[in-house]
Amino acid sequence: MTDTPEFDRHMLEALVCPLTQGRLDYDAENAELISRRAKLAYPIRDGIPVMLVDEARQIDDD
């Protein structure tokens, strides 16, 4: 059992990438929301998505 709050997957219906306004995919293993169009991964900290481009990491989506 962990002390970290879980991400509410229902939030995915309302959240979009702030850069592209496109859909996001949930990566539970890395606790991130993925914008494949922007090639960015937004972190989820303490169950809260950090939807800031400056906080996102670049991803390779080959």
Contact 19, 7 (CB under 8 A): no
Reduced to 3 states, what is the DSSP secondary structure of residue 13? helix
The amino acid at residue 21 is Q
Q: How far does CA 30 lie from the centroid of its chain?
A: 9
Q: What is the pLDDT of residues 6-62, one digit of tens each?
A: 787 787 889 999 999 999 999 999 999 999 999 999 999 998 999 999 999 999 855
Q: Is the pTM of this model over 0.75?
A: yes
Q: Other C-beta atoms within 10 Å of 24: how many? A: 23
Domains of the chain: 9-58 (2.20.25.10)
